[in-house]
Amino acid sequence: MISIVLIGTGNVARHLLDTFRLYQEIRVVQVLGRNEKNLAYFREFSKTSSDFEKLLPADLYIIAVSDDAIPSVSQLIRNKNGIVVHTSGSVSLDVLSKYDHRGVFYPLQTFSKERKIDFKNVPICLESNQREDMELLKTLAHHISEQVYEISFQQRRSLHLAAVFVNNFTNHLYQIGNRICEENKVSFDILEPLILETAHKIKDLSPHDAQTGPAKRGDKRTIKQHMEVLGNSGYRKIYELLSQSIEREYSEWIENPYLPDRGIEKK
Amino acid sequence: MISIVLIGTGNVARHLLDTFRLYQEIRVVQVLGRNEKNLAYFREFSKTSSDFEKLLPADLYIIAVSDDAIPSVSQLIRNKNGIVVHTSGSVSLDVLSKYDHRGVFYPLQTFSKERKIDFKNVPICLESNQREDMELLKTLAHHISEQVYEISFQQRRSLHLAAVFVNNFTNHLYQIGNRICEENKVSFDILEPLILETAHKIKDLSPHDAQTGPAKRGDKRTIKQHMEVLGNSGYRKIYELLSQSIEREYSEWIENPYLPDRGIEKK
Chain B segment 180-199 residues within 8 A of A by beta carbon are 180-181, 183-186, 188, 190-199
Query: Can you list the residues of chain A whose pLDDT is less than 70?
Result: 252-267
CA of B65 vs chain A CAs: smallest distance (Å):
13
Q: Can you give the pTM of this predicted structure?
A: 0.90
Pairs of residues, one from chain A and one from chain B, whose beta carbons lie less than 8 Å apart = 363
- Alpha-carbon span A246 to A251, nearest angstrom: 9
Distance of CA A9 to the CA centre of its chain: 17
Chain A segment 217-246 residues within 8 A of B by beta carbon are 217, 219, 221-222, 225-226, 229-235, 237-239, 241-242, 244-246
Query: Can you list the residues of chain B whose pLDDT is less than 70?
Result: 252-267
- Alpha-carbon span B219 to B128, nearest angstrom: 50
- Alpha-carbon span B54 to B172, nearest angstrom: 42
CA angle B25, B29, B31 (to 5 degrees): 125
Radius of gyration of chain B measured on its C-alpha atoms: 23
| pLDDT of res. A259 | 40
Contacts of A69 in chain B (CB under 8 A): none
Q: Using a CB–CB cutoff of 8 Å, tell me whether B173 touches chain A.
A: yes
| pLDDT of res. B25 | 97
Looking at the DSSP bridge assignments, the partners of residue A84 are A61, A102
Contacts of B229 in chain A (CB under 8 A): 157-158, 161
| pLDDT of res. B114 | 87
Question: B116: Cβ–Cβ under 8 A, 6 or more apart, which residues?
Answer: B18
Cβ of B206 and A178 within 8 Å?
A: yes
- Alpha-carbon span A257 to A255, nearest angstrom: 6
**pLDDT tens, residue by residue, B173-222:** 999 999 999 999 999 999 999 999 999 999 999 999 999 999 998 888 89
Residue ranges of E strands in chain A: 2-7, 26-32, 47-49, 60-63, 83-86, 102-107, 124-128, 148-150
Alpha helix segments (H runs only) across B128-233: 131-144, 153-163, 170-183, 192-201, 207-210, 214-217, 220-230
Q: Using a CB–CB cutoff of 8 Å, tell me whether B113 touches chain A.
A: no
